[in-house]
Chain A
């Protein structure tokens, strides 16, 4: 430990920093890290009142009162409702009060209340920046697309890393742990995947194969970064991994040294993709939900524009995005709701959308199905055609 870190640990800079440093140092010790590494940015998940309760809320408030301040720029994940449209989401009053107090405590500690799961769109992060990020889709994007370095931290750990400004130098913070151990080869289904647009299903397949391992992915191509985030979010739902090395995309591949011959190889066939669709083949008559991960501003504008040009939505469509993406956009469109600050997974969707949904998100399908929703996973194109009244 550096002199500075020891002083912090011993309480020289106050109780709050001492607790934070203690947590980070202990996690470093048990994970075998030799030292801590300064991080440039932190992103905190697990801030929902529903999950952390009154006690979690009081804990955050007491940290703020003890003078805890984030040492680095820090953003937060979506919460339980749209701050400006609570009533439409039928959020219950006690939960709203609790959630707002949690956000206030985080704000006092210096967080930027982005309430977005796509910090990689809005924050300046670069190749080989060390980050302390929780939220699996963000971690996967930062590592796999940007080449930044972050472990797939839990929400509580990321909170303490944000306060201490440091993370254990272990896992994906070290080059040697970023080399792949398995090759996931989509070459055999590449054409069919491209034609079907089943990006989410491809992600679910990858996650199941990779588990917690770093994988090298071959044979996938994406039309844009928005598709990449949809893919990676699904990887993070079925897999515990924080890094996928995508050929033609991941900057790490220019620098990492490994021998492809030593990798375990797995060729994806159509049966594996179909198995995912089979898992999420619910009723198919529900509300269309898009925005897991949060839609970018470009995607949002494109979807709204397309729906208008097709003569409007005949079936209900709910879109989730970040606050920064909706500013100034014309959102008024019959049958289409746009929510910011929250999403279909962390809000109580059943209270405003029922229990039967269609989505293009592998991640949302995975989590909503586990919460007992009837979910159908379909490509975005098909989903939008369903909304404007074709097929379905």
Chain B
């Protein structure tokens, strides 16, 4: 499976997919010291974002969430890549300062159906971006 999208932050990443249909709060929702999702009631609660290609509609909550991505990256615990439907400020700023490759896709339906676990490769270049499920 191959999904083309719009480039936001350039780079290459390979990792297992971690997919959610629910918006995720990065500040307060992910432990910056461990990379584990701690947001109460979230379907990813207890999962670790580290090294995964995180697929989500968009983020929510405090804009300090951008710093959470930075903190994770400095500790080597950040997601390997991010694929989102909407490029909100927290994700865009966070992925840039943390150096996490990021692309936007108009629809994530296929990935929602596929779910988490498959190995995938994200390639984001100036001219285009693609997520390939291996």
Contacts and interface: CB of A to CB of B under 8 A. Distances in A.
A319 B93 CA distance: 35
A22 B7 CA distance: 13
Given A19-B97, A59-B97, A46 B92 contact: no
B83 to A, nearest CB: 14
A31 B92 CA distance: 11
Interface string B65-104: 0110011001100000000000111101110110000001
A157 B74 contact: no
Given A27-B92, A30-B92, A154-B89, A58 B74 contact: yes
Interface string A143-159: 00000000001111100
Size band of the B side of the interface? 20 to 34
B8 A30 contact: yes
B93 A27 contact: yes
B101 to A, nearest CB: 13
* Residue of B67, B90, B97 with highest tally of chain A CB at under 10 A: B67
A301 B4 CA distance: 61
A257 interface: no
A137 interface: no
A156 B63 contact: yes
A155 B63 contact: yes
B67 A55 contact: yes
B32 interface: yes
Contacts, number: 73
Interface in A16-59: 19, 22-23, 26-27, 29-31, 46, 51-53, 55-56, 58-59
B134 interface: no
Contacts of B88: 30
B119 interface: no
Contacts of A19: 96-97
Chain A contact residues: helix, strand, loop or mixed: helix
Contact of B89 (A27, A52, A56, A58): A27
A154 B71 contact: no
A160 interface: yes
Interface in A101-160: 134, 153-157, 160
Given A26-B8, A30-B87, A58-B74, A52 B67 contact: yes
B74 A156 contact: no
A55 B74 contact: yes
Interface string B34-46: 0000000000000
Interface in A50-92: 51-53, 55-56, 58-59
* Residue of A23, A27, A52, A156 with highest tally of chain B CB at under 10 A: A156
Contacts of A53: 32, 67, 71
A160 B93 contact: yes
A55 B71 contact: yes
Contacts of B93: 23, 27, 154, 156-157, 160
Nearest to B65: A154
B64 interface: yes
B67 A156 contact: yes
B67 to A, nearest CB: 4
Contacts of A134: 63
B27 A156 contact: no
Contact of A156 (B8, B32, B66): B66
List the 9 closest pairs (A to B, CB-CB), nearest first.
A154-B63, A30-B87, A55-B71, A55-B74, A156-B66, A52-B67, A56-B67, A51-B64, A156-B93
Given A56-B67, A157-B93, 20 more contacts: A23-B92, A23-B93, A26-B87, A26-B96, A30-B88, A30-B104, A46-B62, A46-B63, A51-B64, A52-B64, A52-B67, A52-B71, A53-B71, A55-B70, A55-B74, A56-B71, A59-B67, A59-B97, A153-B89, A157-B89
22 contacts: A22-B96, A23-B96, A26-B8, A26-B87, A26-B92, A30-B104, A46-B62, A46-B64, A52-B64, A53-B32, A55-B32, A55-B74, A56-B67, A56-B71, A59-B67, A134-B63, A154-B90, A156-B64, A156-B94, A156-B97, A157-B89, A160-B93
Interface of A: 19, 22-23, 26-27, 29-31, 46, 51-53, 55-56, 58-59, 134, 153-157, 160
Interface of B: 8-9, 27, 32, 62-64, 66-67, 70-71, 74-75, 87-90, 92-94, 96-97, 104
